[in-house]
Amino acid sequence: MLQAKPLNLDVLQLFIALMAFFPFVLFGMMRRPNLAMAGSIALYVVARHLDWNLSAYPDGRWYFNPFCWQLLFVLGAWLALSGAKAMRTIHALQKLSILRIAALLYLLFALTVTLAGKFPQLAAMMPEPVLEIFLPNDKENIAPYRVLHFLALAFLVSYLVPRDWRGFQWPALQPLMKCGEEWLPVFCAGVFLSFAGHFILITGPDSLAVQILVSIAGMAAMTGVAYYVSWSRRQDQKPALPRNPDEAATLVPTAHSQYEHGSIGWPDRSSQTSARQQSCSTDLPATMPRI
């Protein structure tokens, strides 16, 4: 089934394959994280050099090579599970202005090259060897400059947006954050919405207003899916309540729960003493003198 090439489901197909092997990655990350990261880098280099990939049905290969894209997956796990020492090293590097400037310049360079691939006027202004290196963009095997682009972007964003940033509480960002929390249902809904939006665009009027309206409607629908899934999960986590009062009355609580919730008071010391004396007086033989 994973050999098929479903339209717009390449990311989900890659995610299934990576999650199948993630327990082994996590096992290594919990014990030797640096060694596991080195193994991931080695697999990435070998897969690119030997052109490893999985075959697809009925022909072709996977659009996202799992042997190469696993590098980003493992890198995210390594950053998430890295200790305090590694975090202090990363924060120290982020304080170097020369590294922040280099990351920003590389992002601007990547933006220029990407735009040059779409606008011939801009491509004519750039050196031909540069375009031959970076265009066409290698997504299948995630070229090294794409990995560097990800690292530069994460380097700057994590520095400019700290974990305790107050902007995360802004109401305008809540829909975006909710879609990120429920990314899988949103992604699946977006696949079906893309077909609906494409159908509307090819059958309706070809205007910018229609394209903007379809985009806004699609984003609103995916946001609604995210909020519904989150609300449904909260409903499932609520404790089950009795269906009717008669059913609640038939539930006989244990003595411990009765005492705990106060339905039956704890016996006081005087009642316990009198009960013990009464029990002793009735159990003694009649020939023995009573004290």
pLDDT at 259: 45
**What burial class does residue 70 get, using C-beta atoms within 10 Å of its C-beta: 0-12 exposed, 13-18 middle, 19+ buried?**
buried
Beta bridge partners of residue 61, listed in sequence order: 55
User: Is-contact 197 210, C-beta < 8 A?
Assistant: no
Long-range contacts of 33-37 (CB under 8 A, 24+ apart): 33/78, 33/81, 33/82, 36/74, 36/78, 37/74, 37/75, 37/78
pLDDT at 119: 86
pLDDT at 103: 95
Between 172 and 12, name the one with better pLDDT: 172
Label residue 242 by pLDDT band (50, 70, 90): low
d(CA 11, CA 69): 10
- SS3 label, residue 24: helix
pLDDT at 13: 85
151 has a pLDDT exceeding 90: yes
Give the CA-trace dihedral at 30, 35, 41, 43, to 10 degrees: -90
